[in-house]
Each structure stands twice: as structure tokens, then as C-alpha cells.
Chain A
Amino acid sequence: MNTQRVVGLLALLLVSGAQAADEERIERGRYLLHAGGCITCHTVDNAEPEDFLAGGRALETPFGTFYSPNITPDPDTGIGHWSDAEFITAFRYGRAPDGKRYYPAFPYSAYTGIKDADLLDLKAYLFSLEPVDRPTPKHELSWFAFRIGMIFWNWLNFEPGVFQPDPEQSAQWNRGAYLVRHLGHCGECHTPRTWTGGLDTSNHLAGNREGPGGDRVPNITPDRNTGIGRWSESDIEFFLDIGMLPDGDFTGGSMGPVISDSTSHLTTEDRRAIAAYLRSLEPLPSVLD
């Protein structure tokens, strides 16, 4: 074998190795897309394949109606021109590439904890998609919701920082905490809000009267009477898989898409980690009662 051939073969091996690494990364990104619950907000209802992640879904809140942006890699109407650093800044600090502050309809106060490596995997996946050319409709907001006000809101309600595992707790608990608090952003619906629209941290996951579309969102702390204290770890894991409550009833309303777009795609191990974390929380009485 001559030198040229050896070099050629080596180059081929390197290229295919790099491709395999890219594919793994995209695969991990796809999983994170589900764990992060991105699809539900960034895809319209009754979507056709070309609507996937192209935004435009209306999110009605007490602060007005928000329209989710296109997150396909279209350079003009999507995120195709974003650098890695800009992508990370959006999640960690709630700032768009042009420096604008996001409204917390984009749950950056939860996403701030996502690790850089996970964000870059997610970006690799998003950039592997077909770009969709679709401009995002303008938000229709109440008079008191304005971007400059977000400086004040962030000062009150936002603490940026990546998730710090608790060394006192098990690996499973830490994985569950990461999924619940950050990727899954469960508190965005299951925790009530204060008058400024920030999460009422004294009632973490204790239910919310004003969920999406006016839904009453239940207490998921392990309180035996008003929460999920009677649910076993296996009950919670199974609920997240198919949506059945321990009494055989099925969840409806806004939790439905969370099951179909997000938790049913997770590994059993990850759903168990979520269950273990939820069961470790301080039991709180429901704010709905």
C-alpha cells in the first residue's frame, strides 16, 4: 500500500467518524427537544409536517397573547443565523442575538439551568432540520407588558445560572431535579405566579389556578390529600408515559400535549428520576383549595 492510499483511508475514517459523532449529537438533541417540551409551544395545533417547529402558536396569558417564533434553521425567519454563543445566551440569559430581552413566555428562568453541552446538542438537532420560511406574528400584549420592563422583571424574578448538582443527593435525584426544574420547566404551569408574573417560589409545584387557557393545574408535591402523595414512583412514571392517573382516569387539557410531545418520549429511567425527585419534595397543600 502506498502512502497516498494510507492517507486517503485515514481521511475517510476521520470523516466517517466525524459524521457518526454528528449523528449521535443530533440524536441526543432530538431527545433534549422532547425533554425540553419545545414542540408543544413552537408548533401549531393540528400541525402538518411542514409546520414542525415553525412557530406561530398563540399562547394566551394574563399579560396578552404571545406567538411562538419559528425555530427551524431558516436564516431570515428562523434561527439559521444564530451562533453557538447566541444560542446559549438565549437560554441562559433570556436575551436574543440582537440583545432584546425575551418575555418569560419563553421559560428562560427554567432553561437557564441547562448545561452548555445539552444546548449545543439541541442546536445541532435543530440545525439538521429543513428550514421553513415563515415569519412569526407579532405578540398582542397588554399595555403594561413592554420589553424595557423586563429589566425590572428579571431583577425581581430571574437568577441566571447552570444547574448545580447536589452532592448530598443521589445521581437519580439530581437527574430528576435537572429534568423537572430546568428542561421540563414543570413549574411554569404547576407553580402559581405572583402579581408581577414571577413564580411564587413558596408554593413550588403546589398548583396554579391560572394555567394555560385558564386551566386549573394540579398540585404535584407529595401532599397526601391535595397532591400526589398517594402516588407511588411507578404510578408517576406510568402517568408520564401514557397519562393515566392511578384511579384509571386520564389527564386532559394542557397536560395532554406534554405527555404526547414530551414525557412519553423519555426513557423509563428518566421518568423514574422525575418521579423520585417529585416524591422528595416538601409536601405542600394545594393552592387550588
Chain B
Amino acid sequence: MSYRNPLIILLSMAAVLLFAPVHATDPEDLIDYRNSVMRAIGGHSAAAVAIVRGQVEHDEHLPHHAEALVTTTRMIAALFPAESAEGDTDALARIWEEPEAFSAAIANTEQAAEAFLTAVNEGGDVGSAMRDLGMSCRSCHEDYRARR
């Protein structure tokens, strides 16, 4: 078998393409991804609120929404790489100008989500834990997101 076999050459080229290091992600994709995760958080928040406020009777779903809120709020810290600052986004420049304050705000939300899950699972004051979580979301949007 010759090493010049076109099939082998083609296959090795395909292998190179397949395993080549991933190129830098398009900032638009980063922004879209951020918006998707934020919508997921919003969806679980709205669903949890509807249950806690007694608008729907799906109490058995509540622990799952609370779990999901813990999981998804832990993703927030990774959603704001520097290259996603420019583009079609409502994220304000302050995020990258004051990274420490921004990280503290995210940590606050993560903790509020954990406290909400604990309240749901251990029969705490679910209403006020939900309110605290909401307040942490709002305070971040107030400081770091343009109004829509």
C-alpha cells in the first residue's frame, strides 16, 4: 500500500480537521449563549414563583426548579468573558470595569439560590427565600444591565 493513497490522505485531512483545536468562539454566539442561560434561569424563576404564590398546583415540581436554579446560577460567572463585552448585548461595560464587585454580586445570587433550595427541601420560609433570590437578581440587573 502506497503512502500516497488518496484515501489515506483524505482521511488524515479529515482527522486533522476533526481534532483541530476549536477556534475562538464568535462573540455573537457567546452573547446568545449567555441570553439562553439567563432565559433558563428566568424560566425556572417564573415557574417557581407561580408555584410558591399558589397560581398553579405543581408543588411536586418545586424542588426541581430550585435544583435547576442552583445549577444555572453557578453558570453565571462563566457567561461574561471579555470578548463578549461588545456586540448586540444589554450587558453594561461596568461588568468588566469592576470585576470584583461583579463577582461578589454573582456569589450573592448563587448563595440565594442555595438558600432557596434548602428552604424548599427542609421546609423553611420558602416565600422569603424566593424573595431574597429575586432581590439578588434585580440588584444585579439594576447595576449591570441596560434597561429594556
A residues bordering B, Cβ < 8 Å? Answer: 211, 215-218, 234, 238, 241-244, 246-257, 259-260
Contacts and interface: CB of A to CB of B under 8 A. Distances in A.
B42 A260 contact: no
B136 to A, nearest CB: 9
Contacts of A218: 148
B61 interface: no
B55 interface: yes
Nearest to A246: B46
A256 B44 CA distance: 21
A238 B147 contact: no
15 contacts: A211-B147, A218-B148, A234-B53, A238-B49, A242-B138, A243-B135, A243-B141, A244-B49, A244-B134, A246-B46, A247-B46, A250-B134, A250-B137, A251-B138, A260-B139
A260 B147 contact: no
B120 interface: no
Q: Which of B47, B137, B142 has the most CB of A within 10 A?
A: B142
A253 B41 contact: no
B142 A216 contact: no
B134 A242 contact: yes
A252 B145 contact: yes
Interface string B112-148: 0000000000000000000100110111111111111
Given A249-B42, A252-B146, A255-B147, A243 B49 contact: no
Contacts of A241: 131
Contacts of A243: 134-135, 137-138, 141-142
Given A216-B148, A253-B145, A257-B142, A242 B135 contact: yes
B43 interface: yes
Contacts of A234: 53, 55
B146 A248 contact: no
Given A217-B147, A238-B53, A256 B46 contact: no
Contacts of A257: 142
B44 to A, nearest CB: 7
Nearest to A244: B134
